[in-house]
Structure 1
Amino acid sequence: MDRLLVMSVFVAVAEEESFAGAARRLAMSPPAVTRAVASLEAHLGVKLLNRTTRYVRVTEAGQRYLDDARRVIAAADEADEAAAGINAAPRGHVTLTAPVSFGRLHVMPCVVDYLARYPETEVSALLLDRVVNLVEEGVDVGVRIGELPDASFKALRVGQIRRVLCASPDYIARHGAPTTPEQLAHHQIIAATSVSPMVEWRFEREGEAHAVRIRPRLTVTNNDAAIAAIARGAGIARLLSYQVAEHLAAGSLQVLLADYEPPPMPIHVIHREGRQASAKVRALVDLLVAHLRAEGSLQSPAAGVPGQVSMPIANMD
């Protein structure tokens, strides 16, 4: 039994959730795929897959073996590419992860460029608003926003983003601009959260922390909805600078209380390769780093940004 081959077959079946789908992916016959998985289960003495006429799913033992098999296959691919030489053309499958909005705006254009440059590569992009464990979930490259608690990965800093309060010029003209965080209690707040009817926003000025609890007038479950609401003059929202960069540049939104912004959050490209990164990962990391470092909206300082306003409070309607 070719262990690496049957591992690859099992991974394909688990990911496709279908023997027929795995057969098409691997250019094998369905009976050959079935025999390979059966021989692997017989060798291990463990049931890896639950099969019915409608679906194929991994068992609990199968999920653990799937994670390990992915790592073994990735290590074998690395060894092949290292033996082929550092100048080998990138080829094979790469999995990357990034936050949803950031991935859509800044990572996907780079992925499209990567696929166009290297026709023998394939990419799976996991755009998720949670921290993905690269090792456990078989991910090669990640884009992380915020401080990195785990120093076990190779990390390249590519920029920073800020938490900004924004409102439209129309809202500011009608309601005025707050000059301290405490004055937000007198404004219409739009919050992108579904956790609690009360929101606590933290601010910082000259090393002094400010925490303000606010009851939002409108609560939405994603940032795009919050941006749409404040662009129409519905109130003030707290967002990440990259999410509103185009609106700020166009003047349709303006930044409030910039002097009270907390410190910027760093952006890193991380990967889990060893001493010698594979060509496919190295090429993707290089493209991501170059693209993100060239993006001006990710390099801006915390103060003096376009769209920032500071004005006296007008009478409330």
Structure 2
Amino acid sequence: MDRWQAMRIVAKVAETASFAEAARLLHMSPPAVTRAVAALEETIGARLFVRTTRSVKLTEAGSRYVEDCRRILADIAEAEAAAAGSYATPSGTLAVTASVLFGRLHVLPIVTDYLDAYPTMAARTLFVDRQVNIVEEGIDVAVRIGHLPDSGFAAARVGAVRRVVCGTPAYFARHGVPQTPEDLRDHRIALSTGAWPSPEWRFARDQRVTIHPALTSNTNEACIAAALAGWGVTRALSYQVGPALSDGRLQVVLADYEEPPLPIHVLYPEGRHAPAKVRTFVDLAVARLRATRLLN
């Protein structure tokens, strides 16, 4: 048996933690899988698995070897796909996720332009205000606002947004401009539970204020609409109120107390092994989002 096939078998046994299941998935007999693993262990001079009647577990050496096997097998698969052309031309359906409002305002126009550029492609968007599990939900590209956990995914930073407290100039003319976060207790607050589930608003220098909202809504848009109507004060991400800030309909207060901006990243699981549909979309999305004035 060649080394490439032996690596495939070892990787599948490690993935399934079962010789029998690996044999089934590889369309081989269990004894053939067992012999292949034993022969490979003898060749490299190290035990890869600890076998009991109830479990199959990788040894420390086996864990390192399987990690290298997966990388090598991925490189081989990529080379074969590139030779066949599947990685050279975008094909299939592209799945993209982002938060609801950011997706509608900034991601959807990129998706539609991408489809115009690649007419044979299709796209699926998932715009939701929750953390999507990219792998489990079959997502190719995610646009995330906030600090990223160490996931091992490839990520390109495209900008940042501020958390701003705002209201209309007319409202502040009537009720006064808050000078410190504590002054918010004297104002009517519209609170979005979708964006700020906790009634505690945090500010720079570890200042915290417990908000007692007069209006609570599950959507950012409703609270922003209330603020635009001159009803009171709300807190939003800067991109959500960007046009209203630019044309003066809304005014930012407490800017000196803002926490550091939240980064925005384009995130995708495969890294350099990503297929053409992902690479081409990421290139377009990164360039467009970095050029968006409201995100800089």
Q: Same fold (TM over 0.5)?
A: yes
* 1:284 aligned residue: 281
| Structure possessing the higher radius of gyration over alpha carbons | 2
* 1:256 aligned residue: 253
* 1:220 aligned residue: 217
How far the C-alpha of 1:86 sits from its partner, in A, is 8.5
Query: Partners of 1:259 and 1:111 in 2: how far apart?
Result: 36
TM-score scaled by length of structure 2: 0.71
* 1:52 aligned residue: none
Answering whether residue 109 of structure 2 is matched by residue 105 of structure 1, we say no
CA RMSD of aligned residues (A): 2.4
Structure-to-structure mapping, 1:42-121, within 5 angstroms: 81-85=81-85, 88-121=88-121
Change (3 A) 1:226 1:284: same
How far the C-alpha of 1:151 sits from its partner, in A, is 3.3
* 1:127 aligned residue: 127
Change (3 A) 1:185 1:266: same
How far the C-alpha of 1:78 sits from its partner, in A, is 6.5
Query: Partners of 1:239 and 1:149 in 2: how far apart?
Result: 23
- 1:267 is matched by which residue type in structure 2? I
SS of alignment partner, residue 275 of structure 1: helix
Q: Deviations over 1:120-155 (max 9, x none)?
A: 111111111111111111111100110111331000
Query: Partners of 1:195 and 1:248 in 2: how far apart?
Result: 19
TM-score scaled by length of structure 1: 0.66
Query: Partners of 2:111 and 2:78 in 1: how far apart?
Result: 21
More displaced 10-residue stretch of structure 1: 131-140 or 159-168: 131-140
Contact 2:153 2:271 in 1 (8 A): no
Length, aligned pairs only: 223
Query: Partners of 1:115 and 1:247 in 2: how far apart?
Result: 30
Structure-to-structure mapping, 1:1-317, within 5 angstroms: 81-85=81-85, 88-193=88-193, 199-204=199-204, 208-299=205-296
Contact 1:82 1:276 in 2 (8 A): no
Contact 2:289 2:295 in 1 (8 A): yes
Query: Partners of 1:82 and 1:273 in 2: how far apart?
Result: 15
Contact 1:82 1:278 in 2 (8 A): no
* 1:27 aligned residue: none
Query: Partners of 2:120 and 2:146 in 1: how far apart?
Result: 33
Unaligned regions of 5+ residues in structure 2, if any?
1-26, 28-73
Change (3 A) 1:256 1:225: same
Query: Partners of 2:273 and 2:82 in 1: how far apart?
Result: 7
- 2:223 is matched by which residue type in structure 1? A
Contact 2:242 2:294 in 1 (8 A): yes
How far the C-alpha of 1:196 sits from its partner, in A, is 10
Contact 1:164 1:240 in 2 (8 A): yes
Matched residues, percent identical?
56
Change (3 A) 1:274 1:296: closer
SS of alignment partner, residue 242 of structure 2: helix
Q: Deviations over 1:170-213 (max 9, x none)?
A: 10110110000001111111111179998211111xxx210001
- 1:281 is matched by which residue type in structure 2? V
Change (3 A) 1:197 1:245: closer
How far the C-alpha of 1:274 sits from its partner, in A, is 4.5
How far the C-alpha of 1:96 sits from its partner, in A, is 1.1
Unaligned regions of 5+ residues in structure 1, if any?
1-42, 44-74, 300-317
How far the C-alpha of 1:80 sits from its partner, in A, is 6.7
- 1:179 is matched by which residue type in structure 2? Q
How far the C-alpha of 1:83 sits from its partner, in A, is 2.5
